[in-house]
Copies of this chain bind each other. A is one copy, B any other.
Amino acid sequence: VRCEVVAIGTELLLGQIVDTNSSWIGEHLALAGIDSHFQVKVGDNFDRMDACIRHALARSDAVICCGGLGPTQDDITREVIAHIMGVEMIRDEAIVDRIRQMFESRGRVMTDNNRRQADVPVGAQLIAQMPGTAPGLVCPVGDKVIYAVPGVPYEMRTMMEGTILADLQRRSGQTAAIRSRVLRTWGHSESGLAEILADRITELDAIGNPTLAFQASGIEGLKVRITAKSEDAAKAEKILAEEEQRIRGLLDDVIFGIDDETMESVVIDRLKDRGLTLAVAEAVTGGILSTRLTEIDPAMSVFRGARIAHHTDDSGDAAELAKAAAAQVRRDFGTDVGIAAVHPAKSEGHGPGTVFSSVALADQTYETTMALPGDLRRLRAFTVISLMNFLRQTLDGAPHRKRRSF
């Protein structure tokens, strides 16, 4: 089964919104083992939408139409699909009631326009998931199919994950369950990881299941994606778990998390597990680290606060400055842990991207020095993630990086 995506909306063509929905759908089709060769964007225009969807349906087996299911007169995806199916539309009163209830639960009154959202081409099925006021549709056209999902990312994803991906797999006669897991790593280059995993990759190339793939995520490290196929989900999960253990044995603490975990979510979780609180001294990173930590800990129950200041004391020793800043911010905020990163002044003779990081934990200080690449923007981003990673490793007692200073 080949499936393509038609993203609908004049605002996409005008560049007022970047079409991230198609990227998400493309990624998840690939993960589900469904081929996808084209993605198209088209404006809210009947004839052009009609031509686009017909063309897509001619060269593929399934088309996912994303957008144009709203309540306004511009939203004509329902009409276009009914035209392609050669059928009328019928208003589904149960859906009208459901939409009305959604409005009432928010203390609002449904407008007449919203009734249009309950119009369904005859022969189309409703997608069971309906997180918003726009129902999704499964519309058979001969032995092919058009799916219609809203352009609201959350609603689209819910319907993709709840109905469409499974329906496509069923249509493709794909009885195997495919599961994948991402191991998030930081600190190694792609060639470095490939070298460590070389033997295992060779073995897996021969076996064919599971598979390993590297995905760059920029400054946030490299992802190692394990994908396993089996006759049912439980068996695929078992293959995943076994492979994860094997890879963890090879990569050790280079792996900082899995799937949707981020460096900051891992760090906050580690601290919370141990009942520790954190304060941060930021200099060149100017608030980026604090922002990321409060995203994860909005109540600031673990991350208690930060002081942001440019270190103007060019005469000082940067390593000592970092140590002092970490200890000072820990005292100021009365936390268990204080962290700081400091860049030496040019006069100190270090490379331009040198960063001294320090973790003050109880009455001990742990330090590391790194040479980081790039311009100021990259230097900042690297400083933030490397400091968090150093805190993570320090909390885990990673012996090969820890250097006790007093």
Contact = CB atoms under 8 A, between A and B. Distances in A.
Interface stretch (A9-17, A101-109, A313-321): A9-17
Interface stretch (A66-74, A123-131, A136-144, A286-294): A286-294
A249 to B, nearest CB: 28
A36 interface: yes
Contacts of A40: 38-41
Interface in A1-53: 12-20, 22-28, 30, 36-43, 45, 48, 51-52
Contact of A37 (B30, B42, B286): B42
Residue from A38, A42, A284 with most neighbouring chain B CB atoms (10 Å): A38
A198 interface: no
A22 B376 CA distance: 28
A306 interface: yes
A306 B308 contact: yes
B37 A38 contact: no
Contacts of A51: 59
Give the bracket for the number of chain A residues in contact with chain B.
Answer: 35 or more
B37 A45 contact: yes
Contacts of A304: 309-310
Q: Which 4 pairs between the two chains have the least Cβ-Cβ distance?
A: A286-B294, A287-B290, A15-B27, A300-B310
B305 A305 contact: no
Contacts of A333: 309
A15 B22 CA distance: 8
A299 interface: yes
A392 to B, nearest CB: 19
A55 interface: yes
B13 A26 contact: yes
Contacts of A288: 287, 291
Given A14-B30, A37-B45, 11 more contacts: A13-B37, A17-B23, A19-B23, A38-B40, A38-B52, A286-B300, A287-B292, A287-B293, A294-B308, A298-B376, A309-B333
A307 interface: yes
Contact of A307 (B28, B59, B298, B307): B307
Contact of A290 (B39, B293, B308): B308
